Structure 1
Amino acid sequence: MGIRCSKLSLCFWPSSTNLNYSSDIENGSKNEKDSLPGFREFSLDQLRVATGGFSSEHIVSEHGEKAPNVVYKGMLQEDLYIAVKRFNKSAWPDSRQFLEEARAVGLLRNERLANLLGCCCEGEERLLVAEFMPNETLSKHLFHWDTQPMKWAMRLRVALYLAQALDYCSSKGRALYHDLNAYRVLFDKDGNPRLSCFGLMKNSRDGKSYSTNLAFTPPEYLRIGRVTTESVVYNFGTLLLDLLSGKHIPPSHALDLIRGKNFLMLMDSCLEDHFSNDDGTELVRLASRCLQYEPRERPNAKSLVTALAPLQKETQVPSYVLMGIQCGTPSPKEAVPLTPMGDACSRRDLTAIHQILEKAGYKDDEGVANDLSFQMWTSQIEETLNSKKRGDTAFRSKDLATAIDCYTQFIDGGTMVSPTVLARRSLCYLMSDMPQEALGDAMQAQVISPDWPTAFYLQAAALFSLGMDNDARESLKDGTSLEAKTLRN
């Protein structure tokens, strides 16, 4: 964790290694330009294939009436993972305006952005294609964390990286960012925060609509109905409040606490003993400046970077370590699952795996040969099928011991083979803390159905439970490759 101190006392923090953040981001931009393909126009067929026919299983996020669009994850034929934003048919009626906007944003290349790679404009379809960020949103990690709250050093890093992203965009003439919020901040394969490029696009109303709750809307927007560069800084201030509190607090309430010198009431209780009073005060002051009622009294993006750089802690620690993400997380090309099953197994979410296997049923048994003579059918098959039925009933109710027993009777009967039964028993073993047995069943399912991604994903879940993380990631990669091959066929 580094240095610990009470949040109610003053601490002296030794200065970290001096990092030239401005130089870092410029170098990062050059690297991005070298490694990313240039902006291009995609055909609708290309994106349809990449997203499995815009399958619901590929949906990353979707919004309602105020922002009618859906974001899918997918993979291009050159094994590049992408995020595809598909707008409602009524959005962007002017195709020329859409293409001009997309091309302008597509010229940007920076390591602090989830960069725009291309677009598609066919008929009534309007789609944007960006880099895929595999480690979810700031909202997820800040408000809905599963294993640990975001560390103070990481919160400071998020604030700095976002300020650098806004400063870079301003320097390139794209200072307006529409509806900056915790859902617009994404984490890449290394756990580094990046700003979604989608917010840099003017929407179909020329930037005149806001999709956030009015309590978080800049006051001048309510007066003039338009986003300004100062509005972006106001939204940045609301993000600072999010980082400070771990909650989405209305700015008016936060400012009341700050004016009453009760700013410690803003601080996330999960951060106790992990930050200094001085650091907390500085971040609160900066948030207060960003949230000034008069736009002219707010700082600009460059001054945000200047204010945040000296506050950074643990600068030599990689982001994935601070985030608690699996060490050495592979790139999206290697490890991003294409379906909820792959994702659930990578996270070892046994409840989600159970729901998916139950919903899928036995459709993946189709094509598995079961050669039975008439005599074998009449003498043995009825009891075999009854064992499977009893096992399925127990599986649905999570009666694990009964399910394992019934599925074992079915498997040991030897008259029929079923990769789904093996997968279900494998999960029952996992849920019973028997990972070695679970691995054996998953491997047997693979023998029966060599091209079944679920078999590889369950192996990964079992291997993670056995502490064999490298082998688990290889199994995830194999499952992903099989799914990608299916999409291309």
Structure 2
Amino acid sequence: MGCFQSKTANVITSPDHPPVQHIPESVTEDQVDHEDQVDHEDQVEQENHVPCFKRFTLRELYDATNGFSGECIVPEGGMKDLSVVYVGKLEGNGLVAIKRLSKLTWPDAQHFVDQATAVGKLRSKRLVNLLGYCVEGGERLLVAEYMPYGTLLKHLFHWDQQTLPWEMRVRVAYYIAQALDYCNVQNQRIYHDLSASRILFDEEGDPRLSTFGLIKNSRDRTSYSTNLTYTPPEFSETGTVIPESVIYSYGNVLIELVSGKRIPPNHAFEITMEKNALLLMDSSLEGKFENEDATELVNLALECLQNNPEVRPDTESLVSAAGPLQKMKEISSHFLMRLPKSTVIQPTMLSLRKACSRMDHKAVYEILLKTGYGDEGPESDLLLVTQVQELVRTKNLGDKAFRDKEFINAIKSYSKLVKMMSVRSVPFATVPYATVFARRSFSYLVTGEHDPALRDAMQAQVCIPEWPTAFYLQALALWELGMETDASDMINKGAELEAKRPQRDQRVRNLL
């Protein structure tokens, strides 16, 4: 279907798989159906503007991300599914999102190629279209369109300027229903872990569904990264995902859209037992919605959240139900979300070294927030995920406070986490993240506690001995303490380590 040109027609060579000749399948005409819900002309137009699906080399993606630099990590890309998403710049393609799957996943190279190729055939204005993949050695990477305005998670739960208006919320519900219906028509019925972080906003401000969720995080189906409270009942029982599971997850997203909160499905049912769906509504909307429309959306959510998969609505029904709620079709998403009118937003590749040298606290904060836990390694979050939920909750509270610039609360939560991890008897849970110390160090700095800030920056270096960030933060603290010579030494040491960083990644270098 549409533009499909891939180097997968060439021989694929991998150390863990013999050469295989891969030929893309064609898509039959009967796969395009019910045009009243997935507009055929719009799909054709989308195909004409999206680059052809292809195979990328590791060198291309390595260069596009400055050697998989932490500064290129998309903060909402997700450590939770044990992979990292980078923003990269490719010659001829502009900005792209690059998902680097964690080690040891997909040992069968051809199986991964088959999955990516099938998803690469999709072309829709409702999807974040997949542009290509990379398979070299143990590396498995996916390349997709870059969405400049971030995720629904950010706009719904972490908004700084304004709440997401009701008209935009019902548009999200409708567009994502269309995306799921399109995938269903194209025989891509399994979607893994649909959530607010899988919904992104393009350069027009329109919501799109990430195609990363159409590809498993590993060769099996036993990975579901959300809290078990929000997973479909059938996954909890069998450990597998079925086509009806995405309907359940879509219902979760609807509850989040109307409430502006993370409300477990069982609690949503309890709230609506009195037949008053308006009890769920987000107070920040200040009543700026039609009661009947809100009730319709809540009722649709409750239908999706039925325990029995067989009684949940299908994707076509989702589109039919969400369509009539669209009352402001002629108003652009840009206007509704009050976004700056720009064809592309270029991400600022800030230099932590320069920011610390200038003692630019705002820039340092933005970099720490943007890079997140990327330098801890793709598998690092597994340490907390497999432990007591209290550790996860405490870490999340600290991250939320840091993100919301509530630095005193961030210090409290991170301090509690450090204490909890230090006293636990589990060997691999005794050392907190270097990023926790880095963020707490910055929080101490901006609250005027310079000595603790220096100690935390030094502790971050203990966690990751050759981490430039730790040296830069030490320099920033030393400058605040009036120790300019020592601060300059730290800056220079950090710069030296940063310059050597690509060479230290021996495994990647050997693959190039």
The answer to whether the aligner puts 1:233 opposite 2:233 as a matched pair is no
Distance in 2 separating the partners of 1:21 and 1:340: 45
Q: 2:89 aligns with which of 31, 51, 75?
A: 75
Alignment correspondent of 1:330: 343
1:248-397 aligned at under 5 Å gives the runs: 248-326=262-340, 328-331=341-344, 335-340=345-350, 352-353=362-363, 355=365
Alignment correspondent of 2:229: 215
**Could you tell me how far 1:51 is from its partner in structure 2?**
0.8
Gapped runs of 5+ residues in structure 2?
1-33, 369-444, 449-512
Query: What TM-score does the superposition give when structure 1 sets the normalisation length?
Result: 0.65
Distance in 2 separating the partners of 1:271 and 1:284: 15
**Could you tell me how far 1:113 is from its partner in structure 2?**
0.4
- Asked if 2 retains the 8 angstrom alpha-carbon contact of 1:25 and 1:110, the reply is no
Q: Deviations over 1:281-332 (max 9, x none)?
A: 1111101100011111110000100011011121111001111111x2222x
Q: 2:177 aligns with which of 158, 163, 174?
A: 163
**Could you tell me how far 1:21 is from its partner in structure 2?**
8.5
Relative distance call for 1:149 and 1:299 in structure 2 (3 A) is same
Distance in 2 separating the partners of 1:159 and 1:356: 31
Relative distance call for 1:206 and 1:397 in structure 2 (3 A) is closer
Alignment correspondent of 1:185: 199
Relative distance call for 1:397 and 1:132 in structure 2 (3 A) is closer
- Asked if 1 retains the 8 angstrom alpha-carbon contact of 2:65 and 2:88, the reply is yes
Q: 1:40 aligns with which of 54, 57, 64?
A: 54
What secondary structure sits across from 1:257 in the alignment?
helix
Distance in 2 separating the partners of 1:223 and 1:111: 35
**Could you tell me how far 1:37 is from its partner in structure 2?**
1.4
**Could you tell me how far 1:263 is from its partner in structure 2?**
2.3
Q: 2:165 aligns with which of 151, 161, 184?
A: 151
Distance in 1 separating the partners of 2:367 and 2:314: 51
**Could you tell me how far 1:354 is from its partner in structure 2?**
6.2
- Asked if 2 retains the 8 angstrom alpha-carbon contact of 1:25 and 1:111, the reply is no
Relative distance call for 1:272 and 1:75 in structure 2 (3 A) is same
**Could you tell me how far 1:351 is from its partner in structure 2?**
5.5
Gapped runs of 5+ residues in structure 1?
1-19, 359-395, 400-489
Q: 1:203 aligns with which of 207, 210, 217?
A: 217
**Could you tell me how far 1:31 is from its partner in structure 2?**
1.2
Structure whose CA Rg is larger: 1
- Asked if 2 retains the 8 angstrom alpha-carbon contact of 1:74 and 1:338, the reply is no
Distance in 1 separating the partners of 2:367 and 2:88: 22
- Asked if 1 retains the 8 angstrom alpha-carbon contact of 2:37 and 2:178, the reply is no
2:349 maps to amino acid: T
Structure 1 segments of 4+ aligned residues over 2 angstroms from their partners: 20-28, 61-64, 205-208, 260-263, 350-358, 396-399
Q: 1:104 aligns with which of 107, 118, 138?
A: 118
Q: Deviations over 1:151-205 (max 9, x none)?
A: 0000000000000000000000001100000000000001000000000012324
**Could you tell me how far 1:397 is from its partner in structure 2?**
7.8
Query: Identity, % of aligned pairs?
Result: 48
What secondary structure sits across from 1:229 in the alignment?
coil
- Asked if 2 retains the 8 angstrom alpha-carbon contact of 1:219 and 1:293, the reply is yes
Distance in 2 separating the partners of 1:173 and 1:21: 16
What's the RMSD between the two structures over aligned residues? 2.4
Distance in 1 separating the partners of 2:342 and 2:37: 26
- Asked if 2 retains the 8 angstrom alpha-carbon contact of 1:25 and 1:164, the reply is no
Alignment correspondent of 1:175: 189
What secondary structure sits across from 2:244 in the alignment?
helix
Number of paired residues? 332
What secondary structure sits across from 2:74 in the alignment?
strand
Distance in 1 separating the partners of 2:199 and 2:219: 23
2:232 maps to amino acid: P
**Could you tell me how far 1:276 is from its partner in structure 2?**
1.4
Relative distance call for 1:354 and 1:226 in structure 2 (3 A) is closer
Alignment correspondent of 1:126: 140
2:162 maps to amino acid: Q
Q: Deviations over 1:223-280 (max 9, x none)?
A: 1211111110000000000000001110010011112224222100011231111111
- Asked if 2 retains the 8 angstrom alpha-carbon contact of 1:190 and 1:319, the reply is yes
What secondary structure sits across from 1:22 in the alignment?
coil
Relative distance call for 1:295 and 1:306 in structure 2 (3 A) is same
Moved more, 117-126 or 53-62: 53-62
Query: What TM-score does the superposition give when structure 2 sets the normalisation length?
Result: 0.62
**Could you tell me how far 1:356 is from its partner in structure 2?**
6.9
**Could you tell me how far 1:353 is from its partner in structure 2?**
2.8
